[in-house]
């Protein structure tokens, strides 16, 4: 593991941060909730502005999934405040979620958000953290390419669905080209289980391309 770069399945580092909503402690502040922490290179930049507008417009959809949003950059808090004022005044969108002012870069370094090859600003990192404070997914984008917020929302929904039903989800679920919105049953781990899958498929209880690739409709 690279120093400063956590891994999926690890506990999110405990840290107190200054945000536009005051000081909060992570991950305890969101205990019992999922949260998405996403970094942006800098305030008052065009690509970052488009991303923040997109996150805000989907904020209610994240909250429906018991998931909060929190942004981060190495700008100071007064810059964040002025920028979200500008977004509200010029674009008519009020940013309701907090933004971390990591002006010393301490949390950004812990999370591997600053690349020595991309300057001193944070890259576009995304961390999905579950209701137990465990990092469930990490995505890193370069500074020059904006993210798809719909994909982040889809990822949260997929992880929660996987937890609930004990299944895996296919590419672009729930709009996969092969099986649509159906879920993949974890592969058999023994000869006996493989035979059971074949029988279940014959009876129409599940669908299979083969015993190692079975899937079903969720409730």
Residue 120's pLDDT is 84
Instruction: Judge whether 48 counts as a catalytic residue.
Output: yes
Residue 5 has pLDDT above 90, yes or no: no
Q: What is the pTM of this model?
A: 0.94
166-219 is classed in which CATH architecture? 2-Layer Sandwich (3.30)
Question: What are the boundaries of each domain within the chain?
Answer: 15-147, 166-219
Place 1 in a pLDDT band, splitting at 50, 70 and 90.
very low
Prior bond of 27 cis (ω within 30°):
yes
Average pLDDT value over all residues in the chain: 95
Quick check: helix, strand or coil at residue 200?
helix
What's the whole-number mean pLDDT along residues 165-169? 97
**Residue 2 — pLDDT band, cuts 50, 70, 90?**
very low
Q: Residues near 165 by Cβ (< 8 Å), separated by ≥ 6?
A: 183, 218, 219
The CA-based angle 157-33-48, given to 5 degrees, is 65
Q: What is the distance between the alpha carbons of residues 189 and 200, in angstroms, rounded to a whole number?
A: 16
3-state helix, strand, coil in the chain (%, to 5): 30, 25, 40
Q: How confident is the model at residue 4 (pLDDT cuts 50, 70, 90)?
A: low
Total length of the chain: 219
Classify domain 15-147 at the CATH superfamily level. Glutaredoxin (3.40.30.10)
pLDDT at 57: 98
Strands, E, within the chain: which ranges?
15-19, 22-26, 34-39, 67-73, 99-101, 124-129, 135-141, 183-185, 207-210, 213-216
- What percent of the chain has pLDDT above 90? 89
The answer on pLDDT for 66 being more than 90 is yes
Report the distance separating Cα 40 and Cα 146, nearest Å.
Answer: 10
Catalytic residue among 2, 48, 201, 208: 48
Per-residue pLDDT, 116: 84
Confidence of residue 115 (pLDDT cuts 50, 70, 90): confident
Residue 3 clears pLDDT 80, i.e. is over it: no
């Amino acid at each position: 593991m690279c120093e400063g770069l956590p891994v999926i399945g690890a506990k999110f580092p405990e840290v107190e941060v200054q945000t536009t909503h005051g000081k909060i402690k992570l991950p305890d502040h969101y205990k019992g909730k999922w949260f998405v922490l996403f970094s942006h290179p800098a305030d008052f930049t065009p690509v970052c502005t488009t991303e923040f507008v997109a996150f805000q417009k989907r904020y209610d959809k994240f909250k429906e999934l018991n998931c909060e949003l929190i942004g981060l950059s190495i700008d100071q808090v007064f810059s964040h405040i002025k920028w979200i004022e500008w977004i509200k005044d010029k674009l008519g969108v009020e940013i309701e979620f907090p933004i971390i002012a990591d002006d010393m870069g301490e949390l950004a370094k812990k999370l591997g958000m600053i690349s020595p090859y991309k300057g001193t600003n944070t890259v576009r990192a995304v961390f999905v953290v579950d209701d137990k404070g465990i990092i469930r997914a990490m995505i890193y984008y370069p500074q020059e390419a904006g993210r798809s917020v719909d994909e982040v929302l889809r990822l949260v929904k997929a992880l929660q669905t996987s937890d609930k039903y004990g299944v895996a989800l296919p590419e672009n679920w729930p709009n996969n080209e092969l099986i649509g919105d159906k879920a993949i049953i974890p592969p058999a781990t023994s000869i006996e289980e493989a035979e059971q899958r074949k029988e279940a498929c014959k009876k129409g209880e599940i669908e299979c391309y083969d015993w190692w690739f079975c899937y079903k409709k969720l409730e």
